[in-house]
Chains A and B, each alone.
Chain A
Amino acid sequence: MEKNKKSIGAFIGEYGAFIALALLVIVISCISPEFRTASNFLNLLRQASFNGLIAFGMTCVILSDGIDLSVGSTFALSAIICAEFLINGWPAPLAILVSLIAGTGLGAVSGLLVTKGRLQPFIATLITMTAYRGLAFILTSGKPISRLAASIESDAGAFLFKMLGKGNLEIGPKSAFISIPIPVIILVAAFAIFYFVLHHTTFGRKLYATGSNAKCANLVGVNTSAVKIIVYAISGFMSALAGLIMISRVDSAQCTLGEGFELDAIAAVALGGTSMSGGRGKILGTIAGVLIIAVLNNGLNILGVPTYYQEVIKAIVILVAVLSDRKR
């Protein structure tokens, strides 16, 4: 009832994650001159892009009242599929396309297990997570596949592949341009697309309705099964996209890629205020969550906090942010 008044409480509730983010940036900037440089911020954004892309897909899945534990494995498996094709001399655009389709399909399998198989999302994606990781090991026999760019025959293809993870877009006058990493540009574009789809399309409405009350949504003609399959497919696609950026950047692929990524993505979504029981949440919150995690990773490193302590500090920040975000 008090929601109609824009009180300070409501403002904090709505933008809590951004306030937390701003506080973090200010505090770390005050302590460390190294942190507050433009090049470090761009670097930080590039590091955030992997988790960001995955977290966007994760947001959709969680909004549908699901969860996707398989994102890290999908990330690895689809990247390995791309690497295998490249090593075997396929043109880069085709290998990339196949990898993205594979990721989408892998995600859709989770969706089918949830809908047609009537498995709980946690269990369904625990199964796919395990299976995909296993397949990644089988495909590579546990060995890394490296020198990917060098195995691409055409120069244009090699350029395209390298651009994904290593490229920069130079903006501004020649004398004082800033180079924005391509992964950051992909992240921003993805954000815009997700924002539009979630808040301005009928699919977005159907997704929120499905997560809010699937029974009711189904009765007014929403194909809730289709909505669920689609969100897992989206999540798979986003994981594959992030995986491609990763192997482009490191120029090799291996079966342990992306281990534990599901946790960072879920943490980012939770930080952003999306309800774990579906139906409520915003993509804007997720981006704030992604940035909080990135700032923590980057900042704590720069401050020279030992790795073991970093994890505990991260946990505390997430706890505080999520608690303060809770209504009432």
Chain B
Amino acid sequence: MNIEMKGINKSFGTNQVLKDAGFVLKDGEVHALMGENGAGKSTLMKILTGVYTRDAGTVLVDGEEVTYRSPQEAEKAGIVFIYQELNVLFDLTVEENLFMGKEITKFGGVCDKKAMRAKAQEMMDKMGVNIPVNAVMSDLSVGQQQMVEICKALMVDAKVLIMDEPTAALTQSETEVLFEVMNSLRKKGVSIVYISHRMEEIFELCDRITILRDGSYVGTENIKDIDMDGVVQMMIGREIGERFPKRDVKIGEEVIRVEGLTKGKTFKDVNFSVRAGEVLGVSGLMGAGRTEIMQAIFGNLPYDSGKIFIEGNETKIKNPRQAIAAGIGFITEDRKTEGLLLEKSIAENIDIANLKKVSNNGVLAKSKQAELVKKGIEEFRVKCFGPQHETGNLSGGNQQKVVLAKWIYTDPKILILDEPTRGVDIGAKKEIYSVINDMAAKGVAVIMVSSELPEVLGMSDRIMVVHEGEVTGILDAADADQAKVMTLATGGSL
């Protein structure tokens, strides 16, 4: 299926999000759509699939002008959008999800379970994935759930698949399976629009790349004819310079030491320490227990045994309030469900972590509030209408900046960041790295959990690698490389 979108304009209120945007999708290609957060990638795709209506411009499908009025209409035409937040019913089984709304029936209304099961199994086999079709969705891994979504799309005979950040929550091996499936779909003539911030993946997988900037079309290139720097330049319209800004910080005294931290099979005998001004990177595969270790240190997950010392004193931390009192700040992995009050304003989100700072004896002081949020928006360069902008309407990078701001104003001695740049564009990533460096320069002990190896290698002073709940090594950044970290992360030894 050929799709051509050109001259697309779209405004929400006074905010024009697309201005002369477009792209051309050819038969049987994997086409990367790139751009910073807020560049308009998702909006453009939502216009194609009838979620939004366009203000101006044309959409041609196989040469004919079309306007889909709903995602269902687009689906009927063979265009399916697989969202980043999966659209599955978690309490139902795989087969029930696959046949939702299009059940095979007999006797005019009774579900033919046998036929559905057989068909579901056939689809899974065709895709070459091994997922039990009678399993309940919530028991599956995110990667498997994603496969079910793709399978659902194939059931309606999709000719165009649009995938928004499909690998954001996948492990390495799940990503490989996904790529295999995508490659075989491409061979069958299915076109795929691939939205991702992960450069490496795009160069591995895609045929062509289209770049959007500030809602406008910038250009389309064959992937063979361009390199990463070229893509970045097109995305931000200038050279970005060093990917990981340098840091020159004198490392001070030990701030936090963890001894023998253990929780059942989740993590065992974890020992490490971080000093003032130091950045400890924490690496490991998905599910290795990295997040759980951090949650335990922050008092949000009870542990069986072990000790935490802060500035040399053993500190009991049973809940987040005690952790905060001990000087720990914690930027969680999932900013949407844990990091932000999405329906609340930037001001309220910053206030809630800093209530003591913005009040006198329990009564809110408007001037102090206004001052703090103004400082936050300026210092962190949050793109917004003002302090009252709802955080749910901010782009991913700007949301993350609000989360950073709220924690940094609590003046933590220890800052734990869990996947701080997930789903964040390159420009915002660099700003977040600068914030981390500034914190280190102020003498904060930083712990950064990340699945992105280049980031861990580029930002850390030392790297702790976790494999199945155990620390398999702590490397100095100077003599660490991707191979060494991966070896430790997969249970090997150096």
| A residues in contact (CB < 8 Å) with B | 1-5, 200-206, 208-209, 212-213, 215-223, 279-280
Contact = CB atoms under 8 A, between A and B. Distances in A.
A5 B14 CA distance: 10
Which of A200, A205, A280 has the largest number of chain B CB atoms within 10 A?
A205
- Which of A209, A213, A222: most chain B Cβ within 10 A? A213
A219 B320 contact: yes
Nearest to B359: A202
Given A1-B15, A205-B352, A206-B355, A216 B337 contact: yes
A193 to B, nearest CB: 13
A279 B337 contact: no
A98 B362 CA distance: 28
Contacts of A208: 341, 344, 348
A218 B320 contact: yes
Nearest to A204: B364
Contact of B339 (A206, A209, A216): A216
B388 interface: yes
B332 interface: yes
B340 A216 contact: yes
B388 A4 contact: yes
B341 A205 contact: no
Given A216-B337, A220-B320, A202 B13 contact: no
B342 to A, nearest CB: 7
B357 to A, nearest CB: 10
Nearest to A223: B321
B170 interface: no
Pairs A-B, 9 closest by C-beta atoms: A220-B353, A2-B13, A1-B13, A202-B355, A221-B324, A212-B341, A221-B321, A209-B352, A1-B12
A205 B340 contact: no
Given A200-B363, A205-B348, A213 B13 contact: no
B321 A212 contact: no
Given A1-B393, A208-B344, A212-B344, A221 B320 contact: yes
Given A1-B393, A212-B343, A279-B341, A219 B330 contact: yes
Contact of A213 (B319, B340, B353, B388): B340
A220 B344 contact: no
Contacts of B355: 202, 205-206
A280 B300 CA distance: 26
Given A200-B363, A212-B344, A215-B337, A5 B13 contact: yes
Contacts of A279: 341, 343-344
Contacts of B340: 213, 216
Nearest to B385: A4
A216 B13 contact: no
A210 to B, nearest CB: 10
B348 A216 contact: no
A217 B352 contact: yes
B470 interface: no
Contacts of B227: none
A75 to B, nearest CB: 29
B338 interface: yes
B351 interface: yes
B332 to A, nearest CB: 6
A201 B341 CA distance: 18
Contacts of B351: 205
Interface string B9-46: 00011110000000000000000000000000000000
7 contacts: A200-B363, A205-B352, A206-B355, A209-B344, A217-B341, A217-B352, A218-B319
A215 B295 CA distance: 13
A10 to B, nearest CB: 12
B406 interface: yes
Interface residues of B, number: 36
B72 to A, nearest CB: 20
Given A1-B13, A2-B13, A201 B364 contact: yes
Interface in B274-325: 298, 300, 319-321, 324
Contacts of B385: 1, 4
B332 A219 contact: yes
Given A217-B341, A219-B338, A205 B388 contact: no
Nearest to A217: B352
Given A4-B388, A219-B332, A279-B344, 14 more contacts: A1-B385, A201-B359, A202-B355, A202-B359, A205-B351, A205-B352, A206-B355, A208-B341, A212-B344, A215-B338, A219-B298, A219-B320, A221-B320, A223-B319
Contacts of A216: 337-341
Contacts of A206: 352, 355
Contact of A220 (B13, B15, B352): B352
A205 B343 contact: no
Contacts of B342: 212-213
Interface in B339-390: 339-344, 348, 351-353, 355-356, 359, 362-364, 385-386, 388, 390
Contacts of A5: 13-14
B295 to A, nearest CB: 9
A86 B481 CA distance: 81
B343 A280 contact: yes
Contacts of B319: 218, 223
Contacts of A2: 12-13
Contacts of B390: 3
A43 B362 CA distance: 37
Contacts of A201: 359, 362-364
Contact of B406 (A212, A220, A223): A220
A221 B330 CA distance: 11
A3 B388 CA distance: 10
A132 B201 CA distance: 62
B369 to A, nearest CB: 10
B426 to A, nearest CB: 25
A221 B323 CA distance: 8
Contact of B353 (A4, A212, A215, A221): A221
A153 to B, nearest CB: 41
